[in-house]
Structure 1
Amino acid sequence: MADHVPELEPKMLERVETLALKPRVAEALQVCVEEVERAMAEQVRISEIESPTFAEKVRGEAVLALLREYGLTDVVMDPSGNVVGRRPGTGAGPVLAICAHLDTVFPAGTNLKVTKEGPIYRGPGIGDNASGLRSMLQVLRALNRAGIETVGDILFVGTVGEEGNGDIKGSKALFDGSREIDGCLALDMADVYTVQHGATGAHRWRIAIEGQGGHSYLDYAKVPSAIHAMCRAGNIIADFDPPADPKTTFTIGTIKGGTTVNSIAARCEVDVDMRSVNLQELEDLERRVLAAFEKGVELENARWPLADADHQLKLVKTQIGNRPAGMQPDDSPAIQAALCAMKHMGLEVRQCRPSSTDVNKPLSIGIPSVCIGTGGETHNEHSLKEYFDSTDMQKGPQLAILTTLALVGIKNEVEPGLTKHKA
């Protein structure tokens, strides 16, 4: 059952149907079928290149070389580590960024060797996100083979830092205002029946409570406990009741501290994750959570009045994640292009929901953006038992091609559905 699915805009649906009738577009879509084996071999090669978050350079260089091999001359690795290649349009149209993240959740030294069993490919990261990079590269090859000239420019981007504590570093760099970009299409997740149309914001904090600590018996009543203070804070936070609509959530994801069973803990540390599609709700929750940690320290210090100033607990707050939230109207050209392309291809919309991806940043600053599937099916992602079912994987790049062309248009044939921002 899908979430709220926007009604299709007749003009965008007509644009997609018109595109699909163009011989060159049909040729590009057919290229995706003809090159399935080549594309899958490329996905495997990419997957076997180590690319932990914050260490994506080697994989980035490989993708950079492929972008050049497939005809792009304006290709760079920017200071953030993103690989960015431009496929020029007429110069008068909008600019669309097609993004697929380079990083994986697996640390250096992980065995990334991919094994094959029929259409099934097993290996850590084979789906997330070697599949997205494969789909992005296939789009480029197909457009070139079909000789399609677009009105708008297309940026092909391998982004860094999408996973975990990478905090969408690459997307933030891409949309830092240094480039004119009018829309974003992220290729992340294999499922072509899902549209991720909004940005679930995530604020993450590492909270440490620090003091002097002491002996559990000899220093009892003289020294407050960092662990007890953290427990007091956690007790307050556990009873928070954030709204279900817009969905807003929290969790204390990790906790560590103390040294021995017979010690009053000198330090305790937790990592906290808070999420919402609504920035105001997220910020309100964040204020309450941080205030609860302040209160926990205050209560624990007050519990032991014999403790002198040197033994009082102190709170240390470090933000470790800030993924901005954002939603967009149903008539956003990015959403409409993706949904109309799915309609043309006969792909049922099984899920239409917000998520946390590279589109978070552009959506938060009002740039039409959407995340779509790459084709095939990924199972057990983020685990060593991850595997990818390549059945019908051509549908991913085919969907991306139709969505892309609906947004950037075809020279002298179809106008772009994406609006070029005024300087």
Structure 2
Amino acid sequence: MNRVLLLPALAFASLLYLSEPLQAQQKTSKTTATSGVEKRYVDEIGTLASQSSVKKAFQFFVDLEPQTMKDLINLTETPSPPFKETVRAKKYAAMLKEAGADSVWIDEVSNVIAKRKGRKGSKTVVIESHLDTVFPEGTDVKVKYKGDTLYAPGVGDDTRGLTAILAVLKGMEAASIETDADVLFVGAVGEEGLGDLRGVKHLLRKGGPKVDSYIAVDGDGISSIVHRGLGSHRYRITFKGPGGHSYGSFGIVNPHSALGKAIYYFTTEADKVTRQGVKTTYSVSVINGGTSVNAIPYESWMEIDMRSESPEKLNEVDQLLQAAVQRALNEENGIKRQGPDLTVDVKKIGDRPSGKTDASAAIVQRAMAATSYMNVAPQLDVASTNANTPIALGIPAVTIGSGGTGGGEHSLNEWWLNDKGYLGMQRILLVLLAEAGLDKGAAASKVKAEKRR
């Protein structure tokens, strides 16, 4: 999960920009827990929570905590490097099947999908966490304890999310909870870094399953509700020339010179347009090239990241980059004294869509009401998560936390503490049931037998 901005509960009029990760931002507002939530959704969540089957599931989550911790350790210690999530995918698929899903499969890109059929099946709700971590192959992912705290790369982001939705499935089975809608429990690949949300993009591709609403589980705590997708464009830009001796070939094009000019022109103009309006960022993050101090390089490349929740602002900064690159290319070719022209390769390596699910939308209001039910003030956020894709496609979507407390995401010292972690599953269940519809008709055992033949 890539997290940069916090928007407090709707009662707040001003925006508060922070740089801490999501785990550091689970702070309770001083407003009342129901601020900004429509009464009908507060009543809906209250009614759901009062159902005997839901109460049973709530208690089940508490009793299940020892097994949930074992599942977390098991999955954390199953490496899932970028683009190599297959081993964890197979293990997670087996766990979902054992938990009681009606059918489980691994799709073409290694997403794990478990279907739990609804009584009506006229609607499909996705509940999802991502399988991948940011850590390369060979990273030590053994879980270590310091008191009650678990330390391991990926233990919170997003392995805890996987175990949370697995526990929700177990709880629904144990409490004989049936829904009107079909529910897809998904472990998605490719959320982090250059994965570029590829798992969810594939899931929601044209010709894929029709999805009516989407709940991503990422991050910890029970206050945050991400309803605005932070979009990003990422590029690798490579200037190429013939290369040669620094003295003998002097006068040929120099890729480093062009790269330096491109960076200067881009950052100078980008600075101007990002000082006002919606928060928009840019970063020249990686630079490489060259072979020796006495050699003119044959190539010079950089990787750039740009982010904004505004598609228009993101495109504006993108256009400044393209113009800067071409200006640098032309200037370097204009001053050469010998040899062939410099060339440039502009490759987009990341494209995360932006957009928002309006705060008044049912799924956001339900998430807020469920948070309020826990007597916690809901916080409306913007972040880059797997919810970006459904949001951009117009599918109502949010990202909510998995409970507990954590920190150090994307570092070798990542940690997670089971501080009433069961509250995370309880909130997830309430939001899921509000979206999927709780079947209150015939006896659950009879419904289950009929619908799952």
TM range, smaller chain: over 0.9
Q: Any conservation in 1 of the 2:230–2:307 contact (CA below 8 Å)?
A: yes
Residue deviations 1:303-329 (CA, integer Å, cap 9, x gap)? 22x224x2x110101111111111121
Q: How does the TM-score come out when normalised to structure 1? A: 0.93
The AA in structure 2 aligned to 1:216 is S
Structure 1 window deviating more from structure 2 (46-55 vs 244-253): it is 244-253
The AA in structure 2 aligned to 1:381 is E
1:242 paired residue number: 273
1:5 paired residue number: 9
**1:189 has 2:219 as partner:** yes
**1:45 has 2:86 as partner:** no
Q: How does the TM-score come out when normalised to structure 2? A: 0.87
User: What's the offset of the Cα at 1:105?
Assistant: 1.0
Q: Distance in 2 between matches of 1:126 and 1:401?
A: 22
Structure 1 window deviating more from structure 2 (166-175 vs 234-243): it is 234-243
Q: Distance in 1 between matches of 2:122 and 2:67?
A: 32
The AA in structure 2 aligned to 1:15 is E
Query: Which of 126, 132, 139 is matched with 2:155 structurally?
Result: 126
2:259 paired residue number: 230
Q: Distance in 2 between matches of 1:202 and 1:191?
A: 25
Residue deviations 1:358-387 (CA, integer Å, cap 9, x gap)? 101100010010001101112211111111
**1:340 has 2:373 as partner:** no
Q: Any conservation in 2 of the 1:100–1:187 contact (CA below 8 Å)?
A: yes
User: What's the offset of the Cα at 1:17?
Assistant: 0.9
User: What's the offset of the Cα at 1:339?
Assistant: 0.6
Q: Superposition pairs for residues 18-417 of structure 1, below 5 Å?
A: 18-177=47-206, 178-220=208-250, 222-239=251-268, 240=270, 241-243=272-274, 244-304=276-336, 306-308=337-339, 310=340, 312-349=341-378, 351-412=379-440
Q: Any conservation in 1 of the 2:236–2:346 contact (CA below 8 Å)?
A: yes
Q: Deviation above 6 Å: which 4+ runs of structure 1?
A: none
Structure 2, unaligned runs of 5 or more = 11-35, 442-453
Residue deviations 1:272-319 (CA, integer Å, cap 9, x gap)? 111111112212211211221111111111122x224x2x11010111
Q: Distance in 2 between matches of 1:377 and 1:296?
A: 47
Residue deviations 1:45-93 (CA, integer Å, cap 9, x gap)? 0000011111111100111001110111311100011000111111244
Q: Any conservation in 2 of the 1:229–1:297 contact (CA below 8 Å)?
A: yes
Helix, strand or coil at the partner of 1:124:
coil
User: What's the offset of the Cα at 1:395?
Assistant: 1.2
Query: Percent of aligned pairs with the same residue?
Result: 34
User: What's the offset of the Cα at 1:150?
Assistant: 0.7
The AA in structure 2 aligned to 1:246 is V
Q: Any conservation in 2 of the 1:200–1:326 contact (CA below 8 Å)?
A: yes
Q: Distance in 2 between matches of 1:295 and 1:227?
A: 14
Q: Give the superposed CA RMSD.
A: 1.5
Q: Distance in 2 between matches of 1:33 and 1:50?
A: 28
The AA in structure 2 aligned to 1:212 is P
